[in-house]
């Protein structure tokens, strides 16, 4: 039974390949759009208070003049400007007050004649005959012989302090157009012409379906081997950002009938987006269900793109149905590539061109021939030049997309991009905001704590966890403000200092305790000095270790430990090839039984409920490029590092202070 | 009674002056903030689907590793990389299949040993002992002597196609921070670590109250002398844009008791914003009500700002209460100056710095000494240089703010900014988007029609209605693509052509009929030739005309008409000083009885139900700077102008084709 399932699966996987008939991105797009009606899906009336961020579905002409009458802009007297000629402080002109005061909202009954003035409030309607308003400050009411006069102390010109009817908006004038995106500014004008409701394009409804047995909705417990459904959340929010209305359809297990039902329900929406589990088997199931749609049905399955090769594009009766790959980065990239422009068109919005910027690639990048590759990068300033670091976590990562500044395109013909190459980075956000502090290097929970404080003080921080050595090199190139490192020099047995070159300043950080970690109760390791414990492990062919990536400070420690225990370089112990990239990955493997021992800091061992034998009091320090020492965020970082509050917090996390120099 | 009301009003206005104790913008801001707690108003839990555009009120550390296990990135076989060394197409390596296929979401029971391979699907959990995955494409299942083998045709390296646990996010790693604005990208990461709800800052609730007897809510009929309430709409939408929640409190008439009640109700909100009617009297009423608030109450009333001098800032028990001036531009400027930063702080958002750009002022600007003036400008490209045109409609305009690209600051000491001065323009939007077509000059409903078509084709258009002469000059300076004009050369009696200089091309537009307009049934004008009619008007001292602004084509026509009718230059007829700025303003004045006659095009006379005697078949043409003729939007404009559809539409609007050349 087990064997037959296995063979079936392998066979199925081979068959699935047959369906992938990889076409170019252009070909896929053109086949897809050919069957779509890229027009707004409809219109609806909304009140002005709901109109923000909506797209107008009508041209709007004003049914009124704004203002609707000649309006006084000040408190004062409406009169004939010619009557004021020659008036000055020492020789005021006298006119007779006439009529009632003209308040806003009141139609003035009396006309003004030569020699007369009518009191008018700001916003009041200019009476017939008046051609200007004299400010109250330049008038005086005087009584003489039982009669009241208005004295004018400054001459006026015709039209003074008057806004004529229709000056702002003329009756019949177009003030807004079909396709216009409404912000507070347009809404103000629409209110001013008396519009209470406007016709806007209906938001396209986008069904979002996640598939896969291993997919668990956020908020629920996570069984081993399962993953939280991040695609539904990010796709739904992205649909909103594009002007659509996401309609969640939940996570559907790998069951053809349930998937069929979900798809049928989803077809009431304007667009249907499925994203596979991470398994191609699940993708195949979605494909089988979507394959039954006709007119025309699937138009492309397999696109020469990385990430995103297995994307499947279908149209049925003009409705787009897309199966995105399950891996988060693949899903969001193919979504933005194929689905986003469709949503914007259906919402009546123009295609947005993302801005781009030039940068230099500091490292070598390999790419697959025959596929257009989108490589997510983080941008950091190096002098006048930006450096574009590949984010490097692969298409299965969800943080890659959230932390990247943009991406570069590597065309189908290019296999290698050499370090130093100039690249064009398409930005993910509209703007490239420089961070107050750029931190590249080894990751540490203690460092996280200090950066969290800086963030709460309002500073923006960009971090890239690339390991000690890569961080050191980035600091040497001036690409970061700060690199966390813990590199042991095998020659001197000293941490970090031997690696510091002239352009860098070493800032003492703290100590962390590297330990041999194992499951509690494992007699092979318990209560034994590390070298003894590793010797026992080497003697047991069933005993699995877990290694760390080369270039990491911990890897150097592991290699020394193995050497001390007499391991052979030529025949490394089982598990030596598994190069986990963090303390956490080591601890997780040991806890889950995928390995029996590894090296990690005590803090992490505690978090995972593992036993830990102290191995080395490690120095976690910082290097700062000298030319960047004066930056305010760098100075603030150093202040915090020296502060009693941070020292106490680090201590509570299990980190110890560096010895006094 | 009437007299006493008038005197009271004048007296009140004088008294109100006393309260204005004008302070500088800095002083006002500092007094205001001193009494405010510029901290987030509180926090609340929301589900992830509601979290977009919200601000995090907690630091979020991951409670899980992502992925939670060592994950296969492909369909294939999990095995020990060392077993594949030397494998190639011609010399494959054979291993024994073991265990069941590892599907995603399943915990693998068996461990892998040397010489073994376990089938694994993408997303599956790497079994103990395996350190790599070989893709299905590089394997074959072979049967030999009744036994099944897996043949490997390519050698693998440890870690190949494996994402180690915690690589993406490590257990305990901080992934999001207090104060972070959530977009789809962050939401994806929060879902991936299993968060379903997040703590975000509560949106500050902002009460919006409009005051004034003349204020009418949009959607209702507009009595003469009244204005639609645009402030409530624009302020509410702006509150949303700033991260607050607007709470509409309606329009309150100038009644102290009602205003008092409205204010009391509004005090349940976090911020209270009143905007006066356009009358200072109404502002005074708001002031009297707000004055009763204590601890400390009003902190500034009168700020040396233009627009916005009468703004009143109060704080009571830490709650900001602000009375904005009633005029739309004053209201929105003072709102952005004083209230917007407060709303952002209460929402937990950083202050946004608006971007700025250098430009040249093409015209002279006068400013008041002693007040900081913000002058709204429209930006147009002139060669490599941007020109910043003052929008010029004053603080009573609502379109000024909606059409402006930005504003310049003119400091307290400056009275005159000369043409050609370099100015710094603070942009109102985050970006300065160049328009596809810039149109400066005389406004015409016919031109509007063509521009509407271009807009519906997706082109962005910037229009500035500055009159024929100013448009001609802008075209000569290369600041626009197109200027609409109708200038009569008195010497030749010819329209437009005599004004065209070498750098410009004249494009024939259409004819519009200028008419003498008057109310139907007015015996002074009906059925008389225009010159005769005007002669009658001049003879009647009760008869009021309405003029047009100098520089407009219509003004030239009016002056010639008056001359023909024998009017004296020294003693112009009543109303000559009232210089309306559009055909609509002329028609509105005549319809409302504020004037008896004027000159306007027949189309507008019809719209206002006025009688019209033909005066002159006017040529409305376009000039295009020669260097801009090749621009796609210009070419498209000319195509449309020549198209039968546009000709028919112009004709239906009452415009006639230009005579064939």
3-state secondary structure B388-400: EEECCCCCCCCHH
Q: Between chains, do A237 and B183 touch, taking CB under 8 Å as contact?
A: yes
How high is the pLDDT of residue A172?
79
Coil/strand/helix, residue A535: helix
Kindly state whether A253 is in contact with chain B, defined as any CB-CB distance less than 8 angstroms: no
Q: Is the per-residue pLDDT at B211 higher than 60?
A: yes
- Which of B388, B411, B427 terminates a domain? The answer is B427
Partner-chain contact B65 A584, CB within 8 Å: yes
Same domain, yes or no: B654 and B533: yes
- B177 contacts in chain A (CB < 8 Å): 452, 455-456
- Give the chain B residue whose CA is nearest to the CA of A328: B188
Domain assignment present for A620 = yes
Of A166, A4, A151, nearest in space to A76 by CA: A151
CB atoms B166 and A194 under 8 Å? no
Residues B269 and B383 in one domain: no
The verdict on B253 and B340 lying in the same domain is yes
Q: Does A236 touch chain B (CB under 8 A)?
A: yes
β-strands B71-72, B162-163 pairing: antiparallel
DSSP state, residue A406: E
Q: How far apart are CA B266 and CA A105, in angstroms?
A: 25
Place B173 in a pLDDT band, splitting at 50, 70 and 90: confident
Residues A194 and A284 in one domain: no
CATH code (residue A33): 3.40.980.10
**Long-range interactions of A292-297: CB distance < 8 A, separation 24+:** A292/A260, A293/A321, A296/A35
User: Which CATH number fits the domain that encloses residue A175?
Assistant: 3.90.105.10
Q: Is the pLDDT of residue B2 over 50?
A: no
Last residue of a domain, one of B397, B427, B457: B427
CA proximity to A659, closest of A495, A547, A415, A524: A495
If one counts the domains in chain A, the total is 5
Q: Which of residues 277-296 of B touch A (CB under 8 A)?
A: 277-282
Sign of the dihedral defined by the CA atoms of residues B369, B372, B377, B381, in that order: positive
Do B197 and B220 lie in one domain? The reply is no
The complex's ipTM?
0.86
| Averaged pLDDT score across all residues of chain A | 88
B653 and B603 Cβ atoms separated by less than 8 Å: yes
Looking up residue A499, the CATH number of its domain turns out to be: 3.40.190.290
- Tell whether B444 and B411 lie within a shared domain: no
Please answer yes or no on whether B173 and A132 come within 8 Å at the CB atom.
no
B312 bridge partner residues: B301, B323
- Smallest Cβ–Cβ distance between B398 and the set A188, A248, A589 belongs to A188
B368: nearest Cα among B311, B304, B427? B304
Categorize the per-residue pLDDT at B382 as very low, low, confident or very high, splitting at 50, 70 and 90. low
What would the pLDDT profile of B343-365 be if each residue is shown by its tens digit?
Answer: 999 999 987 778 888 999 888 88
Contacts of B458 in chain A (CB under 8 A): 179, 350
Whether residues B470 and B608 share a domain: the answer is yes
A104 vs B: CB within 8 A = yes
Nearest 5°: phi and psi at A611? -80, 150
Looking at the predicted structure, is the pLDDT value of residue B5 above 50? no
Q: Which residues of A touch B226 (CB under 8 A)?
A: 68, 104-105
Give pLDDT, residue B514: 93
pLDDT, averaged across chain B:
88
Specify if A568 maps to a domain: yes
Contact predicate A658/A511, CB 8 Å: yes
Chain B residues in contact with A550 by the CB 8 A cut-off are: none
Domain check: are B363 and B236 in the same one?
no
Nearest to A402 among B171, B188, B401 (CB): B188
Chain B interface includes A550 (CB < 8 A): no
Interchain pair B3, A191: CB under 8 A: no
The CA distance from A365 to A359, in Å, is 14
The least confident of B153-167, B319-333, B495-509 is B153-167
Residue that has been written with the tokens 């917007």 in this structure: B340
Following DSSP, what letter does each residue of A18-31 receive, concatenated? HH---B-HHHHHHH
Whether A1 is covered by a domain: the verdict is no
Note every long-range contact of A140-145, with CB atoms under 8 Å and residues 24 or more positions apart, other chains counting.
Answer: A140/A92, A141/A97, A141/B7, A141/B10, A141/B11, A142/A94
A530 vs B276, more confident: A530
Chain B residues in contact with A138 by the CB 8 A cut-off are none
The last residue of a domain, from among B346, B369, B387: B346
Residues B578 and B657 in one domain: yes
Which of B19, B79, B103, B222 to substitute to test the interface with A, most A CBs within 10 Å?
B103
Which residues form the domain of A85?
71-163
| DSSP for B113-166, written as a single string | -TTEEEEE-TTPBPPTT--EEEEGGGEEEEEETTEEEEEE-S---TTTTEE-TT
Do B376 and B446 fall into the same domain?
no
Provide mean pLDDT across the span A319-339.
93
Question: Is B585 in the A-facing interface, judged by CB distances under 8 Å?
Answer: yes
* Residues of chain B with C-beta less than 8 angstroms from the C-beta of A196: 217-220
- Residue A144's φ and ψ, nearest 5 degrees, are -145, 125
pLDDT 10s digits, B464-515:
877 888 889 889 988 889 999 999 888 888 999 999 999 999 999 999 999 9
**Residue of chain B with shortest Cα separation from A124:** B225
Average pLDDT of A417-440?
85
CB pairs under 8 A between A and B: 544
Q: Are residues A129 and A218 in the same domain?
A: no
Q: Which residues of A touch B445 (CB under 8 A)?
A: 172-173
Are B83 and B191 members of one domain?
A: no
B584: chain A residues, CB-CB within 8 Å: 65, 165-166, 170-173
* A327 domain-assigned: yes
**Would you call B187 helix, strand, or coil by DSSP?**
helix
> Where residue B396 sits, what CATH number does that domain have?
2.40.340.10
Average pLDDT over residues A166-172: 82
pLDDT category of residue A10 using cuts at 50, 70 and 90: very low
Residue in chain B closest to A126 (alpha carbons) equals: B594
Listed by number, the residues of chain B in 295-314 with a beta carbon closer than 8 Å to a beta carbon of chain A are: none
Q: Which residues of A touch B105 (CB under 8 A)?
A: 212-214, 223, 225-226
Q: Do A585 and B165 count as a contact with CB atoms less than 8 A apart?
A: yes
* pLDDT band with cut points at 50, 70 and 90 for residue B10: very low
Stated length of chain B: 661
Asked, for residue B5, whether it belongs to a domain, the answer is no
Assess if residue A128 is contained within a domain: yes
């Amino acid at each position: 039974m087990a064997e037959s399932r296995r063979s079936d699966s392998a066979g199925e996987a081979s068959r699935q390949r047959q369906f992938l008939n990889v076409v170019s991105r252009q070909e896929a797009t053109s086949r897809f759009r050919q069957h779509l009606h890229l027009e707004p899906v409809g219109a609806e009336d909304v009140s002005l208070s709901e109109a923000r961020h909506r797209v107008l579905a009508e041209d709007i002409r004003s049914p009124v003049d704004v203002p609707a009458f000649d309006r006084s802009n000040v408190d004062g007297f409406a009169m004939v400007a010619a009557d004021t000629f020659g008036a000055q402080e020492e020789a005021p002109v006298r006119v007779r007050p006439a009529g009632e005061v003209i308040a806003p909202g009141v139609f003035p009954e009396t006309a003004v004649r030569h020699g007369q003035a009518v009191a008018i409030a700001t916003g009041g309607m200019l009476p017939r005959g008046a051609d200007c308003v004299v400010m109250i400050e330049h008038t005086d009411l005087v009584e003489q012989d039982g009669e009241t006069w208005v004295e004018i102390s400054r001459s006026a010109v015709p039209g003074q302090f008057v806004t004529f009817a229709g000056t702002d908006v003329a009756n019949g004038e177009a003030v807004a157009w079909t396709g216009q995106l409404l912000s507070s500014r347009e809404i103000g004008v629409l209110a001013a012409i008396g519009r209470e409701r406007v016709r806007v394009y209906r938001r396209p409804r986008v069904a979002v379906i996640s598939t896969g047995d291993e997919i668990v909705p956020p908020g629920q417990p996570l069984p081993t081997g399962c993953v939280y459904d991040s695609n539904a959340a990010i796709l739904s929010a992205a649909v909103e950002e594009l002007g659509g209305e996401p309609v969640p359809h939940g996570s559907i297990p790998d069951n053809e009938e349930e998937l069929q039902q979900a798809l049928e329900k989803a077809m009431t929406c304007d667009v249907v987006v499925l994203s596979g589990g991470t398994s191609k088997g699940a993708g195949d199931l979605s494909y089988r269900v979507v394959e039954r749609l006709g007119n025309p049905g699937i138009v492309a399955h397999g696109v020469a793109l990385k990430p995103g090769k297995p994307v499947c594009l279908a149209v049925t009766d003009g409705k787009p149905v897309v199966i995105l790959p399950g891996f988060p980065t693949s899903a969001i990239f193919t979504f933005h590539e194929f689905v986003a422009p469709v949503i914007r068109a259906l919402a009546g919005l123009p295609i947005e061109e993302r801005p781009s910027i030039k940068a230099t690639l500091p490292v070598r990048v390999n790419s697959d021939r025959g596929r257009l590759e989108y490589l997510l990068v983080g941008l950091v300033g190096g002098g006048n030049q930006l450096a574009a670091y590949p984010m490097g976590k692969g298409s299965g990562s969800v943080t890659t997309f959230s932390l990247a500044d943009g991406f570069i395109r590597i065309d189908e013909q290019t296999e290698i991009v050499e370090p130093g190459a100039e690249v064009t980075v398409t930005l993910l956000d509209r703007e490239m905001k420089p961070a107050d502090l750029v931190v590249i290097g080894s990751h540490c929970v203690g460092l996280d704590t200090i950066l969290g404080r800086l963030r709460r003080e309002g500073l923006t921080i960009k971090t890239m966890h690339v390991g000690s050595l890569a961080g050191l090199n980035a600091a040497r190139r001036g690409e970061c403000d700060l690199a966390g490192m813990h590199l042991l020099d095998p020659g001197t047995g000293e941490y970090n200092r031997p690696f510091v070159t002239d352009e860098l300043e070493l800032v003492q950080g703290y100590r962390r305790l590297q330990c041999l970690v194992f499951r509690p109760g494992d007699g092979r390791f318990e209560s034994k000095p590390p070298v003894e414990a590793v010797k026992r492990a080497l003697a047991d062919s069933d005993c699995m270790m877990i290694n760390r990536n080369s270039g990491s400070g911990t890897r150097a420690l592991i290699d020394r430990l193995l050497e001390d225990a007499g391991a052979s370089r030529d025949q490394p112990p089982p598990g030596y090839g598994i190069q986990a990239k963090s303390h956490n990955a080591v601890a997780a493997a040991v806890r889950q039984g995928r390995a029996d021992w590894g090296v990690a800091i005590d803090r992490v061992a505690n978090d995972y409920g593992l036993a830990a034998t102290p191995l080395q009091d490690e120095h976690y320090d910082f290097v700062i490029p000298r030319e960047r020492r004066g930056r305010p965020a760098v100075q603030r970082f150093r202040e915090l590092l020296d502060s009693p509050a941070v020292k106490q917090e680090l201590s509570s996390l299990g980190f110890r202070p560096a010895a006094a120099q």
